[in-house]
Amino acid sequence: MKDLHCHLLPALDDGAQTFADTEEMLKTAAASGIGVIAATSHYSPEMEPVYEGTWAKAGELAGKYHIRLLRGTEYDLEYIADVPKEKLRPVEGTKYLLVDMNRNYIVHAMTNLFFELKLAGFQIIFAHPERMLPLRELKVLLKLLEENAILIQMDSGSIVGRYGEQARSNARYLLDRGGCHFLGNDAHKAGHFMFRECRAILEKRYGQGLFELLTEENPSALLTGGEINPSPQRKSFWERFFRRES
């Protein structure tokens, strides 16, 4: 499995604070079957000068647990315009850039930001929209993301209920309608790796294949330049019923 959203580099953001924390996260991730992790620390001017050195040291630890550690950064849309485009850090040198929105309302200037980032050659992955807004506003945001061909990454914690009922309900809505591309743990500590619990929930509601699409097939395509496919819309009750009968 591949996790493209994780905060395991120590003392760079609100994730791991020591290399002991980092190693505990790597140990837990490996035990859950994760073989690739993107170290997507929250962007700040202070973390930039030390990111590469910290990543290299964490990468040595990751090798101990047979995990490939990728580079990456998570950018808040409120501040990304202040970062020179040539200094942005997409996932492992690809064109895919992880962004988020840490507020509970839609910033309509996002459309201009999306256009500028695309013009600079980036493909945007929008992190955990299901956690941001009530359902009514989420529907507006999802329409905006679709209109701008933005990829969506959902958090495993939303699906299992770590972020509360609104995020869990929003996650179910998003998955039912289709259009999700990646599943990440967004882990800030060892206990946040929830792929196993999440897999059981997804397979019970959506059957086989969805979990693999979001944690293996699409992340692999991202790294190799392949085609990234959105999750399919959930079949209706009658479609599921007749499929069982056939």
Residue spans per domain, the chain: 2-245
C-alpha distances out from residue 240 to 42, 110, 172, 199, 214, Å:
41, 38, 17, 20, 22
Is residue 113 predicted with pLDDT exceeding 50?
A: yes
> What's the pLDDT at 235?
74
- pLDDT at position 107: 67
Q: How far apart are CA 158 and CA 145, in angstroms?
A: 19
**What confidence category does residue 68 fall into, taking pLDDT thresholds of 50, 70 and 90?**
very high
Token pair belonging to 125: 């992955």
- The packing angle between helices 135-147 and 165-177, to 10°, is 40
Provide the pLDDT for residue 94: 98
- Answer yes or no: is pLDDT of 246 > 60: no
Find where tokens 């000068």 sit: 49
pLDDT of 110 reads 84
For residues 228 and 125, give the distance between their C-alpha atoms in angstroms, rounded to a whole number: 12
**Backbone conformation region of residue 83, classed left if phi is above 0, alpha if psi is from -120 to 50, else beta:** beta
Please give the structure tokens belonging to residue 169.
């309900």
Per CATH, domain 2-245 is 3.60.90.10:
no
- The Cα 15–Cα 192 span in angstroms is 11
Say if residue 232's pLDDT is above 50.
yes
Show the tokens assigned to 68: 């490939």
Mean pLDDT, residues 38-61 taken together:
98
Q: In what order do the strands lie in the sheet with 68-76?
A: 2-6, 36-42, 68-76, 96-100, 123-127, 151-155, 182-184
pLDDT, residue 111, reads 86
CB 96 within 8 A of CB 125: yes
Token pair, residue 101, equals 């929105």
Which tops the pLDDT comparison, 61 or 77? 61
pLDDT digits (tens, 9 = 90+) for 134-192: 999 999 999 999 999 999 999 999 999 999 999 999 999 999 999 999 999 999 999 99
Confidence check: pLDDT of 44 > 80? yes
For 164, list phi and psi in degrees, rounded to 5: 100, 175
**DSSP state string for 49-69:** HHHHHHHHHHHHHHHHTT-EE
